[in-house]
Amino acid sequence: MLDLINVNYDTLIPNNVGLSSDRRVLKALEKWHPGYINWWHDMGPNGFQESLAYLRTAVSVDSKGWAKFDYVKMPEYRWGVLLAPAVEDRRIPCGEHFGDLAWQEVPGEYRAMLRRLIVIQGDTEPASVEQQRFLGKTAPSLYDMRNLFQVNVEEGRHLWAMVYLLQKYFGKDGREESDELLRRQSGSEEAPRMLGAFNEETPDWLSFFMFTYFTDRDGKMQLEALAQSGFDPLSRTTRFMLTEEAHHMFVGETGVGRIVQRTCEAMTEAGIEDPYDIEAVRALGVIDLPTVQKKLNLHYSLSLDLFGSEISTNAANAFTAGIKGRFQETKIEDDHKLVGATYPVLKLIDGEAKLIDEPALSAINMRLRDDYTNDAAGGVNRWNKIIQKAGVAFELALPHVAFHRQIGEFLNAEATPDGRILNAEEWNAQKGQWLPNTADGDFIASLMQPQWEAGKYANWISPPKVGIDNKPGEFEYVKIYDA
Amino acid sequence: MTSPTKQHLIDPEICIRCNTCEETCPQDAVTHNDDNYVVIADKCNYCMDCISPCPTGAIDNWRVVTEPYAIESQFEWDELPQQESFGTNGDQGSSAVVEAFDDEIIQLLEEAHQGVGGHSVAPRSASKPSVNLFNRSKPAIARVQGNFRLTQEGTETDVRHIILDIGDQAFPVVEGQSVGIIPPGLDANGKPAKARLYSIACPRDGEKPNANNIALTVKREPNGRCSNYVCDLAKGDEVELTGPYGATFLMPDDPTANIIMICTGTGSAPFRGFTMRRQRTAPQAEGHLVLYFGARTPEELPYFGPLKRIPKSVMTQRLVFSRIKDQPKRHVQDQMRQDADWLSSYIASERTYIYVCGLKGMEEGVDAALAEICESAGLDWPSQRALMRREGRLHLETY
């Protein structure tokens, strides 16, 4: 057990921010830490706190130190505070301060705006741990269980990363916000998490993979935008978080890919050619491709909502202030101020989705969302390659951005996945074809039987092509402790 | 003909296009288009910085090629091309692991590993080694940091601990691998002098953690051109290194593994690496280390002093001497027989790995001792030996 009274914080928290010589912040983190550990015990992976998971821990940011693999009990994971190395002479890459030296301290006039951005980002990190806390019990393999726990501990580390910024740069407000991050809970009535998608349930492993593919990818894009911040500590923090975020993308992409692969294999073995013969495919104990498409529709549309309104003054202000840039801001060739520039925004005009040129500054969210869609489309293509290779006539596709939206231009637009706008009656009659219904959920739930034997996989998912840390197939990724 | 080189490639079927490698690469050797992430062959210097950050393992792919794949063709790939076949491994077929690409070195390694009685197989959990990053035509240049005599002055045996600084070149090694040293000049026939292989005697992260250096254990042979050259090196001298070589005589990366190390003389070099690696990464490891180490006298046993400082809880040491005055000659196999009771239970365990390193002459005696020990415990050594070899748990490197 972790000794909470005599913890040596300097060795406990791997860091490259000189914590040992920063008494004030070290003390603040010491004060916050027991609450975090309590939160982890209460809201972290349920039933596995004593198990040994083969996890990677970042102990420094260079290539040698950032992926140390070993067995660890999750509550004893070394959550560190790690910032990507400072770039010498880094300049503010966008907005009205474009070209000035990046800020090492919070500029007074943007203090509230910055704090809000950090808190929103920070709030998503523990939220997903909470959403995923019961999944360990139904893990389709020890490999997948380990990947889940890796995602969980790194989301925990990302919370630390944001809390460090709050404690270091925002004084009393920062301390209070840090405590609030542990108080709010996903799905709670009285104190829910700040963003909608983070209050949804993650009831099964297909949802988990879709979540890590689509929703964590929103996280990736937000981190990419914050990595362009003129506030250098935020930029450096998020840049390092992105290296970890890549693992989460990996879990989602290969998770869905392995499900698709297994379904295609089972269909081929059984001689089923029609992917829409759902009953026959389900009888094989695998998830039919139309249901995979429905789950995709759901998670993609929920994730699009996370980008906020297409036209947003807040987003324009953050860009102009230089505290949040665009995806790969420094690689874009323009004035980085967007003076007089326009950007095509998809809008609902007379019952139709149309591209309208809007001032590029107000359309910052739209642009990031477009970059997100491009990024998300790549993996969908690779899933289709698996289906194609297996010779099954089916293609997965991202639904139209108007489909199933709760925020922005297409709020309640009743659009089909290919973008046709229906009336409410038509929509209600057909939505079961596009979104998972109770029967779909029950079927998937029926497959969620744990497979905890090392090297074995549940029937509905293929084994991975390569093990984690190059480990062989039968490697025991989690040594389960039976309480 | 161009000699084969090793090309670093990314598996497009596993890669998720996360951009981490491109972001990480200090050489800007990784680039991408809309489809694939690829490595530019002539920019990659095998520094391996991209390997551990890759979340998928897609980055850790290698092909031996005579003509490197251009990025244009890599952009087109849906999957990696098969490894084209090279005749260098003789009739060993596709099951043989690539330990090196230079015929000269392959031959040396094949001879060294002969005693195992079949293809050598790496332990399943062993780290993936890099091989042949540097060769005769493109050697790495190392600078001598130190040259220390390990055996007492006045004894016949002159064994040296040589520390080589690799500077800012990327020369990634793992414990158990060897490097080649080519002595300068021509031999008696006017041909370039033959390369010699030396086992690395330190862990992968260097003689000191994170120093880009390696240590070698070299014995001066009376007429050995290379060994005399190496033993005479002075601090600051430059040495041409090739390799690294070897892809099977590697330690398991598993703290629960028991490792039995049997050696004489400079055969201790790889085991020094194994032991230091275990101490650095898993000092509380569940698995146990056992060392059988034979020499003529304590004064002639390399690393005698440092060995005494390793706690018994980490390693059981059996130092055996054959030339102590007024005492009967003893060899490692004699001591093994004495330990039959507990040694047999280690041999029976599927978590145990046996390594033998030293002079060819020791092979037979050690094998016979193992057979006897097994018999006393009701185990059949020939079948146990075959099983252990197939599972990568039995390794011989003798010369």
- Overall pTM surpassing 0.90 (yes/no): no
How would you class A125 by CB atoms within 10 Å of its CB: exposed for 0-12, middle for 13-18, buried for 19 or more?
A: buried
The Cα B393–Cα B387 span in angstroms is 8
User: What does each C-alpha distance from A220 to A117, A238, A241, B334, B373 come to in angstroms?
Assistant: 14, 9, 9, 62, 59
CATH of the domain at A177: 1.10.620.20
**Measured between alpha carbons, how far is A231 from A104 in angstroms, rounded to an integer?**
6
Query: What number of other Cβ atoms are within 10 A of residue B187's Cβ?
Result: 11
- Cα gap A443→A413, rounded to integer Å: 29
CA separation for the pair B225, B230 (Å, rounded)? 9
Range of the domain at B52: 5-76
Considering the domain architecture, whether residues B203 and B270 belong to the same structural domain is answered as: no
Decide if A63 touches B, using CB distance below 8 A: yes
**Does a structural domain hold residue B114?**
no
Digit-by-digit pLDDT tens for chain A (483 residues) are 444 445 566 667 888 888 888 989 999 998 999 999 999 999 999 999 999 999 998 877 877 677 788 899 999 998 989 998 899 999 999 999 999 999 999 999 999 999 999 999 999 999 999 999 999 999 999 999 999 999 999 999 999 999 999 999 999 999 999 999 999 999 999 999 999 889 988 999 999 999 999 999 999 999 999 999 999 999 999 999 998 899 999 999 999 999 999 999 999 999 999 999 999 999 999 999 999 999 999 999 999 999 999 999 999 999 999 999 999 999 999 999 999 999 999 999 988 889 999 999 999 999 999 999 999 999 999 999 999 999 999 999 999 999 999 999 999 789 999 999 999 999 999 999 999 999 999 999 999 999 999 999 999 999 998 889 878 888 999 999 865
Give the B window 195-254 contacts with A, CB below 8 Å. Answer: 205, 210
- CB of A373 within 8 Å of a chain B CB? The answer is no
B25 in a structural domain: yes
- Cβ-defined contact of B205 to A466 (cutoff 8 Å): no
CA angle at residue B90 from B87 to B94, to 5 degrees? 80
The verdict on B281 and B344 lying in the same domain is yes
CA distance A213 to chain B (A): 11
Specify the pLDDT at position B52. 82
Give the type of residue at A136.
Answer: G
Q: Which residue has the tokens 């890549």?
A: A246
Q: How far is A160 from chain B (nearest CA, A)?
A: 20
Residue B231 lies in a domain: yes
Cβ of B53 within 8 Å of Cβ of A67? The answer is: yes
Q: Are B82 and B63 in contact (CB under 8 A)?
A: no
B56/chain A closest Cα distance in angstroms: 6
Contact at CB, A246 and B205, closer than 8 angstroms: no
Residues B215 and B314 grouped into a single domain: no
Q: Which residues of B are catalytic?
A: 198-199, 357, 397, 399
Contact of B102 with B136, CB cutoff 8 Å: yes
Q: How far is CA A14 from CA A39, A83, A160, in A?
A: 20, 11, 11
H helical segments located in B66-174: 71-76, 103-113
In this complex, do A64 and B210 lie within 8 Å of one another by their Cβ atoms? yes
How far apart are alpha carbons B285 and B351 in whole angstroms? 13
Does B78 reach chain A within 8 Å, measured CB to CB? yes
Domain harbouring B37, CATH code: 3.30.70.20
| Whether B377 and B312 share a structural domain | yes
Q: Among residues A247, A299, A303, A268, which one has the least CA distance to residue A393?
A: A268
Q: Does A243 touch chain B (CB under 8 A)?
A: yes
Residue B352 in domain: yes
Residue B86 lies in a domain: no
Contacts of B19 in chain A (CB under 8 A): 246
Where residue B89 falls among pLDDT bands split at 50, 70, 90? very low
Q: Is the dihedral of CA A155, A156, A159, A165 positive or negative?
A: negative
CATH code of the domain in which B173 resides: 2.40.30.10
**Residue B172, in any domain of the structure:** yes
| Amino acid code (one letter) for A466 | V
Higher pLDDT, B290 or B193: B290
Q: B76, B94, B117 — which closes off a domain?
A: B76
Burial of A209 (0-12, 13-18, 19+ CB in 10 A): buried
Q: What is the distance, to the nearest Å, from the Cα of residue B233 to the centroid of all Cα atoms in its chain?
A: 23
Residue A243: closest C-alpha in chain B: B20
Three-state DSSP state, A119: helix
Residue at A289 is within a domain: yes
- CATH number for the domain that contains residue B349: 3.40.50.80
Shared domain for B383 and B282, answered yes or no, is: yes
**A2 lies in a domain?**
no
Distance CA A263, CA A289 (A): 7
Q: Is B57 on the interface with A (CB under 8 A)?
A: yes
Query: Is there a domain that residue B357 lies in?
Result: yes
Could you read off the pLDDT of B252-278 as tens digits, one per residue?
Answer: 998 999 999 999 999 999 999 999 999
Which ipTM score applies to this complex?
Answer: 0.82
Give per-residue burial for B380-393: e unless 16+ CB within 10 Å, then b: ebeebbeebbeebb
**β-strand pairing of B61-65 with B5-9:** antiparallel
- Of all residues in chain B, the one with the smallest CA distance to A246 is B18
Residue B281 forms part of a structural domain: yes
Query: Which residue type sits at A36?
Result: Y
Task: Give yes or no for B45 touching A (CB within 8 A).
Answer: no
Give the residue numbers spanning the domain of A376.
9-479
The tally of domains found in chain A comes to 1
Chain A within 8 Å of B61 (Cβ-Cβ)? no
Query: CB-CB: which of B13, B14, B128 is closest to A470?
Result: B128
Burial A338-361 (b: 16+ CB within 10 A, else e): beeeebebbbbeeeebeeeebbbb
With contact defined as beta carbons under 8 Å apart, do A214 and A320 qualify?
no
Q: Helix A216-226 crosses helix A111-131 at what angle (to 10 degrees)?
A: 160
